[in-house]
Amino acid sequence: MFDRKHDHERSPGRDLGSAQAVAFVRATVPSIETGHYLLRRSQTARERTWTDVDGALGWLAETYAMHPPDRTLSYLPQEARLHHTRTGLMAGSDAVWHYTTSVGADRVIVYVVICCPHRHHTRTPCPLPPH
């Protein structure tokens, strides 16, 4: 759990040329807003940059298969998750998949597909052209 003292690392602030923005780009803590991840170019990869929803959904499904949730816990089935995610991505919403992989909740996985250009961060350029 993050407390408020780390918020400066979780948001770039208003001025993208500020010391806070530079610290944010270098940080590895989760961003407060998903669209801000687009500023962290060192955390992007061309093979994870798509122009169609199917490519992003394929990556989500592959990642899910490699790191499935604990089967004793109750989660939305993958097919339903993919359907819901497709609908959201087609509407320009980011997709965040977050769940525990162990009963003790000591292993959490989070992976995100962020739309770009981002409808809420219109001044933030896309970090990479799609492949």
* CA distances, 51 to each of 72, 104, 118 (Å): 36, 38, 13
Q: In 10 A of CB 6, how many CB atoms?
A: 11
Q: Are 112 and 24 in contact (CB under 8 A)?
A: no
pLDDT in tens, 56-108: 999 999 999 999 888 888 788 899 999 999 999 998 889 999 888 877 767 88
Segment 115-131 shows an average pLDDT of: 77
Does pLDDT of 116 surpass 90? no
Does pLDDT of 1 surpass 60? no
Q: What is the pLDDT of residue 131?
A: 60
Strand, helix or coil at 111?
A: strand
Does pLDDT of 2 surpass 60? no
Quote the pTM value. Answer: 0.77
Q: What is the pLDDT of residue 87?
A: 95
Q: What is the pLDDT of residue 90?
A: 92
Closest to 7 in 3D by CA, of 46, 103, 24: 24
pLDDT in tens, 21-42: 888 888 888 888 888 888 887 7
Exposed, middle or buried by CB within 10 Å (0-12, 13-18, 19+), for 112? middle
Segment 38-63 shows an average pLDDT of: 86
Does pLDDT of 15 surpass 90? no
